[in-house]
Structure formats: structure tokens, C-alpha cells
Structure 1
Amino acid sequence: MRKFDFGKKSSFRSVLLLLVGGLLLNVIPAKLAIAFGLPLFLDCTGTVLTAMLGGYLPAIIVGFLLNAINGVSDPVTTYYGVLSILIAIGAALFYQKGFFKSAFRLLVVIFTFAIIGGGLGSVFTYFLFGFNFGEGISAPVAIAFHDVMGFSLFKAQFLADIVIDVFDKTIVVVLAVFLFRFVPESYRDKLNKIFMRKTPSSRGLGNAMVSNSLLRKVVIVMIITEVLLGTLASAIGFYLYHEKSIRNFTDIASGAAQAATVAVDAEKIDDFIEHGYSAEGYERTKWVLERIRESFSQTKFLYVYKFLEDSVMVVFDLDAEGIPGVEPGKKIKFDPSYEPYLPQLWAGEEIEPIISNDIYGWLFMVYKPIRNRAGKTVAYVGVDIAMATIKTDEAIFFIKLLSLFFGLSILIICVVIELVKRRVVAPLNDMSLAVFRIATNTMLASELDDENMNLDKIKTSVDKLVNLKICNHDEIGKLYEDVSTMSRDTYNFMWKVQVQSQRIQRMQEIIIMEFAEMVEARDKSTGDHIKKTAEYVEAIALQLRADGKFKRVLTNAYIHKLKRAAPLHDIGKIAVSDLILNKSGKLTDEEFAIMKNHTVEGGKILKKIVEDAEGAFDADYLNESIEMACYHHEKWDGSGYPNHLKGEEIPLSARIMAVADVFDALIAERIYKKGFSYEKAMAIITEGAGKHFDPEIVESFTHISKKLYDERTVIDAAQNAGNAKIA
């Protein structure tokens, strides 16, 4: 089978660095937010950055691993690993679709993460734990929504969680994008290879071939299966545990209530109500009730009520955390949760546990009647357990269930995806991509007689197929053998075709260049302007790359295209009258308007050539010619022509040509002026940086301008001497 970089030690270290770095970026900002009391989480910066660098798999590991580690001390946090996984998947998807390259699209990323972390997290919290309204990071915002805007508790808390998460995810995303810029490109490329992600050079042609990928089908089937099984298993497990949990807490509350009925003397209920603390035995009874509550640690409130027709009379009401008890003998109104049970309470009967959500919180209440010697119910002992306690207990079980099931499921999915990707999809994609390219070039060779086919790319595709060394004894292995044989035969055929096509291509280029020189010759003042500007353009591009500018754009191939394209930048002058073109004096406004139109006409001419060629020859460099012809008189500050483009709106080729064109015009001798000195020419160029010219290009040009000027002076001197000798 194929051997991948993932198995090498250096690749292992790169992956380990990615995972550890991502985990630290999740932990450190979160800890700092807590230390400084910031109303933020900042716990998924590493997840987002890892997704940008490595894709789905490492981001899921980093995101879920953080929750798993935190779950050791606080099991509840493990549950939110599901949200971390969703954010990891979302980050990888958004980065793949280019959303991190645009400020506007980043807003979509931020709000999506906020909906996941704040909105979905809020809903999960509500269904599993209930809202502890007025607590947590979003408490002030939630209270404001509730008190000022009049929103319900659910709506107020939901919106507050989203608002807080918008601020949180904004910082997270901006920080991740900022850190991404400092990651060495070599490290990014290595991670791309390890995780077999598409790079910019592999897009376009490959994407069209895998839009209905086998890998995608496998992933969809697995995800649907896991979601259905996970949902069903989790629902059943949670329901069963919920029933058990309710029974357990009912037993606890019933035990506390039963003990309290024994401790309270039913014959003294009326005396306790009338005289309160001064009643004989009241303080002793209250002390016993407090000890009973302490014995049942889950109990939040313990009290004794006597139910009347219009209210309840307080007998005992123990102080709770931060909530003082009601004085004995006081009447309080019925809570709405009592209404369905009032007939039974008035009758002194046993009732089922009540779930209430009032000013005292979300409570699970159990009542036991206190009966006197005659068997008559004279009061009820109430024991309240916070539903949060019950839900936390259920959540811990649910979290464990989710962690075990979905954790293993995610691991299995990731492993299967990697196996399918590496063992099936990758070799098939490589083979299909090579066949597609070879077939396309073969078609062009046979039908269009194209002499500019790139044999290097075809040979690279053939070499890749050979280097795959797929030894499967199955359909993939057989397909590999057939494709390899076909690729070698096709390459040999195209090599023969190339010999003939090169001659034709050279002839075509000569014709186009002669045409450009013929147009330039009409302007008697420019001399060998097109040749010199082509040399300057090449020199400037090489220096820009040497200075580390536009490195991704200024490849050898691109610089070669610039040099080939440069001589055609003034081809539009063919549409300008000789009277205007060779006028020795200053042009009128109308004449200058006609002269300026040579940029538009040049673009039209070159576009027509490209359209008429229809792929008959390699016209790729003509695209750069079009940009140079149209925009080489645009200015950095937007004051140029014809379209008043500014800054980086102007194509790089045109910005380079602008410097080369003006420099040659300044130092060259014309029929209406002598050439400027080097110092004066460069003073004009440097003064125009940031106004006329791209300042970065001017900066690089200053490094080579003297050398170019000196070379130009020597050549001009030699030509003048030769001309004088001939004369």
C-alpha cells in the first residue's frame, strides 16, 4: 500500500505539536478569563486554530479532549464536548470554504459559533439542568432582558447566553486568525500533507471530479447511522435513569419528611402556631428538624405547614442558604403549583411529589401528613430538593453515556474516514486526476493542434502514479496497472507532438511580438521602450520576491509571463492618430482624452485575440497583457485612468508596469526632451510612492534602480557610438 508522511517521526511531532498547542490555547485564555474575572469563556481558541491548520480530525480531538480533561474534576463539563465538536466541525468547514479570508464572512462564523455555544448550549442547559436564573457569566444581561425588556425567564436567559457568546466568539475567532498568520507556511503545508487536505494548487480541476465523492457518501452514511443509534440509545438510557433518579430522590425526601413527622408533636401544632418560639418545646423541635435536614444533605428546604382554605399557616420554616425562614404563625398564599393538590391537602391525604418553579427556585417537593392521636391530619411536613441537584445527577449519567457512546462513535468515524481516505479515495483521486489531465491535453493536441501543452505536468502525473505503488490484489490494483500503462503511452505520444507544436508556438509568439513592435514604432519618440520596460518589469518582480513581497504570486512562471506580457502594454496606441501620437507639443484636453483611451483599446484588442484563439495556443500570458494594457496608467491613490482603481484593486502586473513605464519615460531621451538624471528620475518615483505607485514596489525598485540606470546608460552609449560610426 501507499506510504504516507503521517508515519514518519517528523510528522508525528508536527501532529503532536498541533494537538498540544491547540489544547494549551483552549486552556490558557480560559484560565486567564477566570483569573481576571472577565465575563467570557475563551475556551475554544485552540479548537478554531487547529481546525484552520489541520481540519476536522485534530480539531475534534482538541475540542473534545479539553472537555474530557475538565470532566475529571467537573463531570458536567464533559457534556459540552458535543458543542466543542460542533464548533470544531464548523471551523473546519468555514475555513475550507474561505470564510476566514473576509471580514464580512467572519461575522457569519462568529454568529454561527455563538448560536452553537450560547444558543444551543442554553437550550441543552435548560432541558438538562434548568436555568439557574441570575447566576453565571450571563446573569446581568439575563436580568436586564427580564426586568427591563419584560422577556420570560427562558427567553431572557437564551438571548443573554447568545449575546455573551457573540463577544466571546469574536475574541476567539479574531485571536485564532491573528495567530494563524504567524504559523510558518512550511508547517501549514506539512499539516496539509499529513491530513491530506486540498491545497490551493490542487483545487479547481480536482474539485470537479470529487463533488460526489465516495468518502462523502461513507461519511454521510456513518453520521446518519451514529446519530440515529446515539439518539435512540441516549433517549432510552436517559429515560430509564430519570425514572430511577426520581424514585431515589423521592425516597430521600420521603425519609426526611417521615423523620420530621416523628419529631413534631402533632398535639402541639396549634400551640406552636399561636405562641411561636415561646411555645414549650418549639426550640427543641426546631433543633431536631435542623439535624434531620443536615442528615439528608440533598434537602434544601424543610418546613411544616398547616393548610387553610385560603392560605397556609407556617408552623416551622427553617432558614436555608441566604433565605431566612418565615416566622411561625404567619400566613402565606398558595403557590400555583399547589392548586391541583389542594382538595387532597385539605382532606389530609397523601399526595404525589410536586415540582415547583417559583421565587425559591426549581424544586422537587415531598409532603407527609402529621396526624394526631385521633388520626386527623393537623399539618404537613414539606421537604424540598432542588431540581438542579436531581438534574445534575441525571446529567452526570447522561454525560457518561454520551461520552462513552459518541466518544467511541466519533473515534470510529474518524478512523474509518482516514482509512477510506488513505486506502481508497486518495489513490482513486490521484489516478482519476492524472487521467483527466492527460485526456484533456490529448484532446487539445489532436483536435486543436496545441503546441503549448505542459509535458512537465503530465510527466509529474505519470510519476505520481508510478510512485503510488498500489499493490492491492483487487479492483483498485487492476485499475492502477491499466492507468499506469495508459499514462506512459500517452506521455510518449504527447512528447512527439510537443516537438512539432513548439515550432508553431514560437511562430505565433513572433507574430504577436512583431505586431507590438510595429505599433510601438509608430511612436517615434519611444525608441526601444517595449524591450526596456519588459526588462525592468522582470527585474522589479525578481527583486520584490527577493524582498519577501508577494511571494505566493511571484513564482518563476508568473514572472516569466510578466516579461512576455510587458511588450504588449501599449498596443492600444494603434487606435491613436499619428498626429496625436507624435505631436511634439503639449496635447490639448481632447487629444489627451484620445491618448488615454489607448488603455481601453489595448484591453479590447488583447481580449479579442484571446477569444479568437479559443485555446489554439498558450495565451495565458496574454491575460497579464490585458491587465497591463488596461491598468498601467491607474494610480495608487485612485486618480489614474481609465477606471480610477486604487490600491490593491489595481492588478499587481499593472502596478509593476506603472513603475517600469514611468522610469523608462523619465530617463529616456525623447524628441521633445532630454533624459532625466538618475537622481531626478528617482526623486519623482519616490515622491509618487503611495500616490502614483504602490509603495512596496517603489521600495524594492530603489534597491535595483541604480543598477538598471547604469546598464541603460552603457547600452545607450554603445548604440549612439554605433550610430555615429555608421553615419
Structure 2
Amino acid sequence: MLWTSVSKSKKILWAAGLICVAILINLILSKLVLFFEIPIYADCIGTIIAAMLGGTLPAVLVGFCSNAINGISNLTTLYYGIISILIGVAAALFQQNGFFRSALKACIAVLTFAVLGGILGSVLTYFLYGYDFGEGISAPFSLAIYNHFGFSKFFSQLSADFILDIIDKSIVVAIAIFAHRLLPLKLKHLYSHIFLFDPNLSEHPHQFGNYKIKRSLLRKVIVIVIIAEILLGALASVTGFVLYRQVSVGKFTDIAHGLTEAAAVAIDADRIDEYIAQGENAEGYLKTEANLYKIRNGFQQAMYLYVYKILEDGCHVVFDLDAEDGEEGSDPGSIIPFDPSFEPYLPQLLKGETIDPIISDDKYGWLLTVYKPLKNSEGKTVAYVAADISMGEVLIDQAKFFIKLLSMFFGLSIIIMSIVLEFVNRGIVNPVNRMASSAIHFAYNLEQSSVSSIQELDSLSITTEDEIEYLYKALTKTCKDSVDFIIRLEKAAERITLMQDEIIINFAEMVEARDNSTGNHIKKTAHYVEAIAKELQREGKFSDVLDDAYISKLKRSAPLHDIGKIAVSDLILNKPGKLTDEEFDIMKSHTTEGCNILTKIEENASDSMDDDYLKEAIEMAHYHHEKWDGTGYPTKIKGEAIPLSARIMAVADVFDALVAERIYKKPFSYEKAMSIITEGAGKHFDPVVVEAFCRISEELYKNRTVLNHKHSGEGNAA
């Protein structure tokens, strides 16, 4: 089954099926190892398999849902969902970077999972519950480490959890890799496309041909979402922490108020002065003290309970339940000096007024204190009942709440972020990447495969029903219009080239026609030049110059090699006998005249003609009578200083002149002509060109008759 043939509804069913099966794997295996009392967890095999098949989204859903289902019977399991989620995210990254295909890299994955499950899980447990080893899988091991190595309880439990988790995650990863390899390849492809997950991202991070992407769009989106989640998480956590702190302080304040209210009821306010003066000897003192103990013990959060009479000289002790014998405040009537932290409240306390709860940090510790005025029957404040609640308890509660908040918030945030990124990837990043890839392929391969590039764009079928779809339609239309325009331009250019070649040939034939002796010379030499150049190319000679494009230019340039004869008199061109020295000098001028004519054309028409093509034509016209040994004309250059085009033309030109009938001579035989050519190697001609020509000369000679019939009409060139 190919993923492209699966409908949208079936893809949803396949995705849900993967998630459900992976959750069942986690639950069943974890219950089995628990039932058989095997000292491992085996609670994230399904999470890792889901990550290997579909990436981050199914992995985090499987990890969280597994913990959520277990949390039905044990709510605290929910707080560990963040660990399962992080393992799923890590597994997806490891799969994309090929970690599960290498034993060494798989060990790195195991260590990472062990850090997340063992160390992070152990730290989370510490913040939530503290350490007393408990009854978990690692309890006996941690107790043994504690007894034998002298570690603290925290580090004993941390070490035990990490070591056991390495064993657990080694088994888990091995099972997950084995199970993944057993799955059919088509099923893996199906899930990778359902979740738009590339399991081999490191091998081809961005498919944009030779164009390298420095920062992918998806990574930018991920960074933005992560930053937003962190900022939102920080804001939510701080807000939640502040609100919880207020609630916690309020809760403990209410407890302290309740304690002081109950204590106030148990005390006879009219006898305060008697209690101070006589202490335990006063009637009812011990009974009242016993009642106060009972009341205080009924409030677990209470740390201290005492009754003081506030006077100018200090606090006069009435009852102090927590002062040991001999300590300050242990005897009724003793005076305790004011602590500096209470100075702002002294005016109100001395007046017997009600004051707000006080949070202080002094020699008695960090305390929340509530003072209740104790009024006698006349309504006068005669003492204060005070209750202290340790703020350490508040801090512990706040820390637990904060850890729970972070665990739940970031666990759910990663799930939400994975869902958002999946939709962003599906609706924005993936369509844009596909368009970008096709557009780059179109732009950089326009000449070679424009039709296939258009077909590739059409096959994208992007239907996001938003601006991206409109962009896709506009891009497709623009590319199609560009291809149509280029095709029209190519056809027009082809027609212009054909017309140009035809004009050149006709122009050259007009010049040739003035010489009655040469007969089809320009067409035959063009054919010879092409044949010699191809043979040199086949032999690998002059490979830095001789390519197909250069050979095509040589063939087109060849007809113009004698264009300068237009400036030579007909009397000289058609003279039946030998030319005089003066006449020969005029005849030789056709090389420079041809160069001048073509150079002027190049200067005046360089914007509309192929400069390289004219360059070869100029060189061929100017230098085709130069000789290898430097005895030629018009410049007497020699060797490789003579352009390659002219060296090839020299052989073709002389060979055709030798075997052709002229008004001043009979045609030479093939053998005689080749004898002259070979003797001229290294003197008249480039020996490398002659060597190549010798291999094809016989076939060229045999085909002369065919060429004569093919190019009907006799022209004149020399």
C-alpha cells in the first residue's frame, strides 16, 4: 500500500492505530514486568517505536497518555509524564540523525534516556516527596549504596535510579530497534508521510539541489514556538507561584487564627495578672496549660503557641508551651526583650490593638505569627495569644506545587507544541519547501528539463485553501508562461540562426562564384574541417578547446575563410597561368581583407551575433595561410601561436586545392595529395592535425563525389 493512495480519513485511522498500539505496548509490558517482579520498568518501548515511525507528535502523545492512564489509579504518575514526553522527543531526534543504526550512537541514546528517566526522574521524586527510599524497584539497591558507600540518601537514590535506568533503557532500545526492523518498509514509509516525518533527515536535510539552506523555515518556526512556550511557561509559572504563595500564606494564616481563637476560649482573661504573679501556683493555671497543649497538638502545622502580656519593658510570659526548663520564657512572669523585627508593631501592641499577621526571620526561625488580643470581661486587652507557623512548611508546599506545575505545564506544552508544529509543517512549511524545491529545480535546470520541471510543479497539487495555494497557482502559471516564452524564443533564435547561416553561405558563395576554378570549395572545406575536428576530439587532442560547441563554430566559420577575396580583382582570381609576384601579393591580401571585414561586422553587430562564432571566423580568415614553421602569410607566426581553427583549415584548404581541378592545373591523385600533406607536417602543417587527418582522409576523398552532388552548383574559392 502506497501512502499516496491512502485517503485522508484512512491516514487518521492509521495514525490513531499507531498511537493506541504503542500505548498498549507501554502499559502491557510495564504491568508484566511488575507482575513478574522483574527489576526494570519497560514503560517506554511503545514511545520509542512511535518516535521511530512517526516522529515527535505520536511519541509525545504516547508518552503522556501512557502516564495519564496509569495516573487513573495513581495520580502522582501524571507528574512523571514530562519524562516520558522528553524521551519521545529525544527518540525522534535520534531516529532522524541515524543513532539507532549505529551501536555506538545507540549507546549515546541509551545514556540520554537514562539521564532523563533516572536522574531527572530521581530529582523530580526528591522535590515531590523527599527521600526515605520507599518501596520502589530501586529501593533495595539505593539502600545498599547508602549503607556501603556512605552517600547521602539523595545521592544513593540518584545513583541507584541512574544505574537501573541504564539497564532498563538498554533493554528497551534493543527491543525497539529489533521491532522496528521487523516492520515492513511500506508501513514505515506510510507513517513517515502521514506525520510528515523524515527518519533520515541528516542524510538530506533540505532537498534544494545544489542550493544550500542555512536556516530552514521549520527550524525557525520551532525556535519561535519554543521561545514562546518558554516565555509563556515562565509567566504562567511565576504567576502560579505567586498566587499559590498567597493562597498558602492565607491557608496557614487561617490555621494560626483558628489556633489562637481556640486558645483564647480556653484562657480566663480576668486572671492573667494572677497567672503572671503566681505561675503554676495560681488556681486553674495547670489545667489551662494542659488544655492549651491539647489545642496546639490538634493543629499539626503549629510550631509555637504562647501567651504574652506586652508592656513597655518587654513581653511578660503568661504561657509558653515550647520553652524548656531554664530557657528564656520558661517561667511565668519572666520578661522577654523585644526582637528588633517587632519594633514597627510595638505601638499597636502596647495599645492592645489587632495587628496583621507577621512574617519574621529572627533567632526563632522563619515564622508566620498571628497575634490575637485577649480581652477581659471589661473588654480591655490584657494579653496576646500568639501562634507561630513555620514558613519552612509553606516553602516546601510551594516547591512541591512549583515542581508539579512545571512538570504538568511543560509536559502539556510539548504536546501542544508538537501538534502546532505538525499543523504548521503540514499547512505551511511542507508546501513552501515543496514549492521552493521545485522552483529551484526549475530555475537551475531550465534549459535541460523545463517540461519535467513543470510536471513536477503540477504534481505538487497544493490545496491549502489559503494564500499558499494562491502562491502555488501563481508560481505554476509563471513557470508555465516562462517555459512557453522560452520555447518561442528558442524557435525564433533557431530561425534567426538558420537565416544567419544561410546568409553567410550565400554571401560566401557569391564571393566564391567570382573564382571559376574552385567549385564547391567552401562547402567541402567546411565538411573537412568538421571531420578533422571530430577526429581530434575522439583522440582526446586539444581537449581543453575541442568540444561540441567549438566544433559547431568551426563548421559555421569555415565558409568565411576566403571572404577577403571580395577585394581581389577577377582578373587575378581567374588568371589561367601563374601569377606574378605583384599579383600574388594582391592575392595574399585576401587574408587581411577577410580579417578586416569580419572584425568590422563583429564591432557593429556584437549585440545580435555570437561573438565566439565571429572570433573563430576572424582567426580562420586571417591565419589559414600561416605555416607551422613560420614561413606563411600574412603575419609569419608559427607553431601553436597559430590558432587551432586556422591550423585545421590549412590542412582542409590545401587538400581540397590539391585534389580539385583548377583552370591552371589538373587534379592530383589521392596518393599524390596525401604525399604532399604528410611531407608538409611539421613544416606547413601542424603534425598533430595531419596525423588525425591521415586517419580519415581516404574516406573523405571517397565522399567527394557525394558532396559534389549534394551541394549542386560549382562555386569558386581558393
Structure whose alpha-carbon radius of gyration is higher = 2
TM-score normalised to structure 1 length: 0.48
TM-score normalised to structure 2 length: 0.48
